Amino acid sequence: MTPEAISEAPAKVNLYLHVTGRRADGLHELDSLVVFASIGDSIIARPAPEGKITLSVEGPRADGVPTGSDNLVAKAARLLADAAGLRTGAAITLIKRLPMAAGIGGGSADAAAALKALIRLWDVDIPEPLAADIALKLGADVPVCLAGESAFISGVGEHIKRAPKLPPAWLVLANPGAPLSTPDVFAAREGGFSEPAPFSRPPDGARELAELLSVRGNDLAAAACRLEPKAGATLAALESQDGALLARMSGSGATCFALFAEESEARTAAGRLASLQPDWWVAAAKLL
């Protein structure tokens, strides 16, 4: 057993998200291009007495984060221990930088990072299919966060296909401080279903990536904006920034993003937006 294992949990961003159908069990089928940004939470796992798993939360967004058994990080630890037949303990620290219920996979990314850290801490040999199964039990976004690379997802999130190489680009992420419930957003969605729209060739630069995304959308955005008008205001604010090639909502919101070709443009836009909206969470991040 190692004395400490650290794993990063980068923000997950849906560059587009199509709802393609609904299964008999009520779950929705999706088609989405998922990428990761150079900002996120961190997991630190250390040894603990046998059978004892504890979670503490630190960092600028720690307030309000549950530390009990309902936290996905704690659930991930117990599922992994059960799957590996272990009674080994762990003291887990979550460094929380991303807002909660924000559509950028904070809890899902944290759970995936916890699995990675604990596999190293406990030195367990978990086959990839079993790890993916554990991840899916934790939530639809956890498998792609565990894979940790740009990918097209389908099904409810369990089918993952590596995306073509994406060009260098920057994102400005903004959340107006308005949490949105994913089930509520899905329930409020109106209209039919969209066709899957993955692409196979690498875009030649950020502008071509924006062009490809412009004919795709987020099928949850309209419902999210009806439930939380601040989400629409966030989108409009991002669209108005100089250099923004495209603005969209990520996941079920309320976090939105704008795509930029240059770091300087993204950082300038983030600084301007943060000064205009000091109560919002705003960050410039590189597309990983």
- As annotated, the active-site residues are 12, 141
Per-residue buried b or exposed e for 53-79, using 16+ beta carbons within 10 Å of the residue's own CB:
bebebeeebeeebeeeeebbbbbbbeb
- The span from the CA of 213 to the CA of 196, in Å, is 13
201: Cβ–Cβ under 8 A, 6 or more apart, which residues?
A: 164
What letter does residue 288 receive in the DSSP assignment? -
- The span from the CA of 251 to the CA of 186, in Å, is 11
Q: In a 3-state reduction of DSSP, which class is residue 230? A: helix
